[in-house]
Amino acid sequence: MTAQQWLLGADGAALVMAVVSGVAESRRNRRSSLDRHGWVPWRGLQIAMIFAMLALTILALKAG
C-alpha cells in the first residue's frame, strides 16, 4: 500500500467517527430525561474529526 492509500483510509475512518459523533450528539439533544447527561464531548470530537479529515485529505493529495 502506498502512503496515499494509508492517508485516504485514515480519512475515511475520521469521516466515520465524525458521523458517529454527530448522531450521538443528536441523540443526546433529544433525550427524554434531562438529568441523564453524558460525559463524552461529542461536538468537540466531531469538530476535531472534521479538522483531521481536512488535514488528511490535503496530505493525501500532496502524497499522490
Residue 48, domain extent: 3-31+39-63
Domain count, the chain: 1
- Torsion angle, CA of 27/33/39/44, rounded to 10 degrees? 40
Grid coordinates representing 29?
A: 439533544
The pTM (predicted TM-score) of the whole model is 0.87
For 7-56, write each residue's pLDDT tens digit: 999 999 999 999 999 999 999 999 988 788 889 999 999 999 999 999 99
